[in-house]
Amino acid sequence: MLNIGWLGEGKPFPAGPISSEFRDALRQLCEMPILKHRGFHGCELCGLRSPYVGNGQIRVKDQAGQVFAAPTMVSQYVEIHEYQPSDVLIEAALNSIGTSADGLGKSNA
Ligand SMILES: [Zn+2]
């Protein structure tokens, strides 16, 4: 599993446009995190503090089977701070959405 989308104050990150399809997919994934934490993490970039945004993690899997872990805050990073994740996360999010509750895609069972 690879971690992706963990941004912090003072750390540079790629910014740029993303598709509305990806934005919506990421938002949907972050609304139903696979892991929820006790307490929550505020946004180090703008100071947003919300127990509904920074309180968990998502998992997505690309078509090659690589699983990525990202904080639920990643949706806020994309929408507010124009974070442009790598293409692998975008592909994995689009691949994962709507296939299962955990974002890891359909099982073979
Ligand atoms: Zn922020």
Residue-wise pLDDT for 15-36, tens only, equals: 999 999 999 999 999 999 998 9
Residue 15, pLDDT score: 97
Question: 64: CA distance to ligand 1 center in Å?
Answer: 31
> What confidence category does residue 100 fall into, taking pLDDT thresholds of 50, 70 and 90?
low
Residue 105, pLDDT score: 53
Distance in angstroms (rounded) separating the CA atoms of residues 5 and 84: 9
Residue 51, pLDDT score: 75
- 8 located within any domain: no
Number of domains the chain is built from: 1
Share of the chain above pLDDT 70, in %: 89
Domain residues for the domain of 25 are: 17-102
Question: 48: CA distance to ligand 1 center in Å?
Answer: 5
Question: 109: CA distance to ligand 1 center in Å?
Answer: 40
> What confidence category does residue 109 fall into, taking pLDDT thresholds of 50, 70 and 90?
very low
Residue-wise pLDDT for 36-63, tens only, equals: 988 888 899 999 888 778 889 999 998 8
- 4 located within any domain: no
3-state helix, strand, coil in the chain (%, to 5): 30, 15, 55
Residue 27 exposure: Cα atoms within 13 Å on the Cβ side: 11
Distance in angstroms (rounded) separating the CA atoms of residues 101 and 38: 21
Inter-axis angle of helices 20-31 and 87-96, nearest 10: 60
- 32 located within any domain: yes
- 109 located within any domain: no
H or E segment at 71?
A: strand 67-71
Sequence letter at residue 63: Q
